[in-house]
């Protein structure tokens, strides 16, 4: 018979192998970013950067820094707009329970099922008429349409688990609806706030469909377009291309590591009912 210790060891080994397979593309991206250009086509390729070079990263700082700053601006703007809309909406649907709230929740689910390219084409016609093409605030609005439905559902699930006694006590103390939301509900919704903020930022940071559709050569291009055009202009300089991808991945990776505890609590909120 298989002992529990052997079963645990086998599960651990399988988990490590699967993790290594999933992370190998990330490692190879880092390896290529440090490989000199003359060693790029060596057969067989080096599994480790034996003669590392940082020329690719120097090219990133020279050519891609404006794109990184634009993506940071769009990401932070998307987070702010998403929280501004989804937090009050989630509170209203979870605690105020307006008529038609169930139908609105279904609409939010349907909105998340719409392909991004379909929404991008709709935005193209609207933005063209309003003169919002090639603008960073236009991309913030577009990216927020993906993050807001998700944010509202996360806030509904989390705020539904907040005891009604808290809001009742606030009303007894004379707090109105807005004061209750701002001073009572939001402070205890930290996990949901972090979760929605993180996913909103990651969606805006990694967006390519909206950026490519709503940008026709403007000055405010995000890093996804920077990498795309860099591949087209420098299709032989793979160390610089991979260095750009590594630098673009660092903010998202850091946010995931720092916020994973809050994200786990925020996503699972409402899964268990008392």
Instruction: Tell me which range, 71-75, 104-108, 163-167, 233-237, is most confidently predicted by mean pLDDT.
Output: 71-75
CA 91, 96, 98, 103 dihedral sign is: positive
CATH of domain 58-267: 1.10.3720.10
Domain with CATH 1.10.3720.10 in the chain: 58-267
Query: What pLDDT score was predicted for residue 63?
Result: 79
- Given a cut of 80, whether residue 40 has pLDDT beyond it is no
Measured CA to CA, the distance from residue 137 to residue 157 in angstroms comes to: 29
The C-alpha angle 144, 146, 150, rounded to 5 degrees, equals 105
Q: What is the pLDDT of residues 205-257, one digit of tens each?
A: 989 999 888 876 666 788 888 888 777 665 667 888 888 888 888 888 888 78
- 176 Cβ contact partners less than 8 Å away, ≥ 6 residues apart: none
Q: What is the pLDDT of residues 47-91, one digit of tens each?
A: 888 788 888 888 887 878 888 889 999 999 999 999 999 999 999
Measured CA to CA, the distance from residue 132 to residue 136 in angstroms comes to: 9
Reference 83, options 167, 176, 201; nearest CA is 201
């Amino acid at each position: 018979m298989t002992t529990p210790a052997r079963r645990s060891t086998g599960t651990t080994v399988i988990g490590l192998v699967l993790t290594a397979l999933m992370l190998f593309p990330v490692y190879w991206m880092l390896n290529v970013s440090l490989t000199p250009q003359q060693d790029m086509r060596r057969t067989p390729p080096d599994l480790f950067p034996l003669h590392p070079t940082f020329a690719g990263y120097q090219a990133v700082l020279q050519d891609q820094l404006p794109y990184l700053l634009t993506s940071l601006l769009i990401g932070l703007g998307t987070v702010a707009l998403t929280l501004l809309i989804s937090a009050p909406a989630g509170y209203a649907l979870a605690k105020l329970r307006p008529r038609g709230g169930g139908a609105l929740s279904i609409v939010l689910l349907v909105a998340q099922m719409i392909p991004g390219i379909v929404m991008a084409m709709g935005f193209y016609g609207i933005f063209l008429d309003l003169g919002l093409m090639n603008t960073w605030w236009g991309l913030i609005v577009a990216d927020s349409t993906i993050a807001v439905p998700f944010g509202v559902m996360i806030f509904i699930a989390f705020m539904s688990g907040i005891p009604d006694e808290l809001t009742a006590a606030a009303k007894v103390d004379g707090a109105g609806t807005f004061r209750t939301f701002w001073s009572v509900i939001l402070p205890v919704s930290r996990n949901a706030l972090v979760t929605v903020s993180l996913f909103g930022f990651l969606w805006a940071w990694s967006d390519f469909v909206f950026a490519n559709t709503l940008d026709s050569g403007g000055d405010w291009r995000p890093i996804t377009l920077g990498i795309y055009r860099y591949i087209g202009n420098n299709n032989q300089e793979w160390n610089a291309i991979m260095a750009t991808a590594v630098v673009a991945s660092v903010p998202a990776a850091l946010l995931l590591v720092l916020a994973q505890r809050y994200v786990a609590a925020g996503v699972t909120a409402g899964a268990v009912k008392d």
